Amino acid sequence: MLTNTFKELLGKQPFIASGSIAMELSLRDKHDIPADIWNLKDPVTIESIYKEFVDAGATLLLTNTLKSNRLALDAFSLSDKVYEINRKAVWIARTAALRKALVAGVIGPTGHFFSPIGDLTQDVAHQVFAEQAMALLDSGADIIMLSSFIDIEELMIAIDAVRAVKSDIPIIALKSFPEDGTVLATSYPADIAERLQNKQLLALGSNGIVGPQRMTDILRALSGSSIPLCILPDIAIPTLLNGRPNYNAEPEYVASVAVKLVRQGACIIGADGGATVEHVKAIAKAVQHEIPGSEKVEPKPSKTIDIKPIESEEVSQFAKNIGKQFLTTVEVEIPRGLDMSTVIEASHFLKEHGIDAVNVFDGARARVRINPITASHIIMQETGMECITHMACRDRNMVGLQSDLIGAYGLGVRNILAVTGDPTTIGDYPFATSVYDVDSIGLCRALNHMNKGRDLLGNALGRATQFLIACAVNPCADDRENELKRLEKKVQEGATIAFTQPVFDMKTLLPFLDSIKSLDVSIMLGIIPLRSARHADFLHYEVPGMIVPAWVREAMHAAGSNAGEVGLNIATDFLSEAKEYVQGVYIMPPAKRYDMAIDMCKRSGVL
């Protein structure tokens, strides 16, 4: 079969894609390493699987290379094997095809997020895709299939990268959609099809994630496109059994839905996750006499989800007061256990004395504490005090982080301070996993997207949030240039106010403020009133990123038993001088000495 013949017949008869190499390897008890690596480790088995797919009726063999790009292979120290693995995969497939099937070289996503969510840049992604495409095409792939892409921007880059390698190569572009009826009810799938319309694709469509029934909704949403459709659903939603996916969908069931998909317009049909040779055989037999699009299907009407306007009462009072008055916040110490009484008492005390908000940290030093959203909600309910809720990226993946933010908003938590978070290695559970799907810059972006009524992938939330996006900055950072660049990125991603690490004198503060004068960001000056010489030494020598000037340490040592009073005086005098240059103060009193914070504020004239 020649590529030209394939193009001529596309739309006149269904073409059958091969199934899951990973699933067939698993059935052969070969699941200890990623499927792609078996191209080198056991090419004989891979070839035998392809031959079984061809015998089952597959007319389009998909190479076992979904995760064979440089970045994905780097996790297994095989980034230098990109060319070899992809070349081998095509050769194996071509050997099995025997002119009964065409070979589609499969390219999957990088597995990395773009900056600022992750560290991937568009240029690097383009290079990675081009490298893999070159290997696949040099080895004789008839078609390039871009498969399992979640991020439409990454898919667009991949298309351009393949075109840069060979401008006339036929490309099939597949976008994976989540199992989410709300998203599929919007214009989102149709918008994707429209964006791909002018890319001169052989086919577009969707694969994976959802089962056959849900894929019928996706097909309808995409059917307004004039480009032929390729539809490859998972055979079902799997359950995990001993860490491995377990599918229950029988071949006959998958095949019956495949018939509907072809009749409704699928020109290339098959199944993805969990699809064995038996599933492909059943599909091929069921659709052999079907004509794609034989049943006229109207494109699924989309619902427009209006982003409801922000109600004025949803904006926190703290946010409203930025720039209108000097703001004061105090960090409250969150207990290890369930007893929140000391926090409630402290918040009552601080509110009664005129403090604007309390800072609620999120597992500082990677130690177990009550969830900061829950703590903030309790404080607000019990005392009416506003909270600056710290959110660390350490403990939550991208899904959990956004879910928690939505939950926070639902509970009335409005002021979020985005922090990357201390690694678990220094905390109570040093062998726990540090997630870091995103860092504080990425979290600022997530918050900014929600303030526009969308999640990070552009899915509508139904209404816009009104989070105050706060961030942290360290004027004393060892790598000052990098710290300033990160602050600039945070501001670009929506941060409007920055809380500094503790500063002790104007010699540190003024140069820092001068360096950020071009940024549109308010500054909450972090101050710690020192309680002893030992406290000063500990902060300076043992806390990363903390600088206690020599003159301060010397004064604390010279003070002897009066060190606490001297520390308070240093902090008060500094605040008295600095208050004209910043928008507020963030006080971190030692050992629950909240009275020191009030004393500082009163003596310096900010209360």
% the chain with pLDDT above 90 = 74
Q: 428-472: per-residue pLDDT in tens?
A: 788 888 888 889 999 999 999 999 998 887 777 888 999 999 999
The verdict on 27 and 160 lying in the same domain is yes
Check whether 307 has a pLDDT greater than 90.
no
| Residue 12 lies inside a defined structural domain of this protein | yes
| Residue 536 lies inside a defined structural domain of this protein | no
104 or 209, which is more confident? 104
Residues 6 or more apart from 389 whose CB is under 8 A from it? 360, 362, 372, 373, 376, 408, 413, 415, 416, 417
| Residue 509 lies inside a defined structural domain of this protein | yes
CA distances from 92 to 21, 38, 54, 250 (A): 13, 11, 13, 28
The band of 53, judged by pLDDT with boundaries at 50, 70 and 90, is very high
| Residue 296 lies inside a defined structural domain of this protein | no
Secondary structure class of 416 (helix, strand, coil)? strand
The average pLDDT across 100-125 equals 91
The verdict on 321 and 262 lying in the same domain is no
Instruction: Residue 332: give its domain's CATH number.
Output: 3.20.20.220
9 or 293, which is more confident? 293
- Closest by CA position to 331, among listed 149, 155, 467, 524: 524
365 or 238, which is more confident? 238
- Closest by CA position to 597, among listed 393, 358, 250: 358
The verdict on 338 and 433 lying in the same domain is yes
Cα 41 to Cα 308: distance, rounded to the nearest angstrom: 55
Residues 6 or more apart from 70 whose CB is under 8 A from it? 79, 82, 128, 131, 132
Find the range with the poorest average confidence among 20-24, 120-124, 218-222. 218-222
The verdict on 160 and 276 lying in the same domain is yes
Among residues 287, 320, 354, the one where a domain terminates is: 287
Domain coverage including residue 521: 312-531+566-604
If one counts the domains in the chain, the total is 2
- Closest by CA position to 262, among listed 236, 235, 237, 284: 284
Q: 135-160: per-residue pLDDT in tens?
A: 999 999 999 999 999 889 999 999 99
| Residue 11 lies inside a defined structural domain of this protein | yes
| Residue 561 lies inside a defined structural domain of this protein | no
Check whether 297 has a pLDDT greater than 80.
no
Task: Provide the β-strand partners of residue 328.
Answer: 585
pLDDT score, position 245: 75
Cis peptide before 475 (omega within 30 of 0): no
The verdict on 223 and 352 lying in the same domain is no
Task: Provide the β-strand partners of residue 500.
Answer: 473
The verdict on 328 and 245 lying in the same domain is no
Check whether 314 has a pLDDT greater than 90.
no
Cα 330 to Cα 334: distance, rounded to the nearest angstrom: 12
The verdict on 223 and 115 lying in the same domain is yes
Q: Which residues of 537-563 are buried (b: 16+ CB within 10 A; e: fewer)?
A: eebbeeeeebbbbeebbebbeebeeeb
pLDDT score, position 392: 94
pLDDT score, position 309: 52
183 or 132, which is more confident? 132
% the chain with pLDDT above 70 = 95
- Structural contact between residues 279 and 211, judged by C-beta atoms closer than 8 angstroms: no
DSSP of 177-208, one letter per residue? --S-HHHHTSSHHHHHHHHHGGG--SEEEEES
Check whether 3 has a pLDDT greater than 70.
no
Amino acid at 259: V
Among residues 287, 321, 345, the one where a domain terminates is: 287
Check whether 4 has a pLDDT greater than 90.
no
Check whether 311 has a pLDDT greater than 80.
no
The verdict on 268 and 330 lying in the same domain is no
Check whether 202 has a pLDDT greater than 50.
yes
Among residues 272, 287, 302, the one where a domain terminates is: 287
Instruction: Residue 175: give its domain's CATH number.
Output: 3.20.20.330
The verdict on 254 and 398 lying in the same domain is no
| Residue 397 lies inside a defined structural domain of this protein | yes
The verdict on 89 and 216 lying in the same domain is yes
- Structural contact between residues 360 and 389, judged by C-beta atoms closer than 8 angstroms: yes
Check whether 78 has a pLDDT greater than 80.
yes
pLDDT score, position 243: 66
The verdict on 92 and 180 lying in the same domain is yes
| Residue 543 lies inside a defined structural domain of this protein | no
Secondary structure class of 67 (helix, strand, coil)? coil
Counting beta carbons within 10 angstroms of the beta carbon of residue 178, is it exposed (0 to 12), middle (13 to 18) or buried (19 or more)?
A: middle
pLDDT score, position 1: 45
The mean pLDDT of the chain is 91
pLDDT score, position 7: 78
Residue holding tokens 């055989």?
A: 281
CA distances from 582 to 134, 244, 306, 547, 604 (A): 55, 55, 39, 20, 14
The verdict on 115 and 156 lying in the same domain is yes
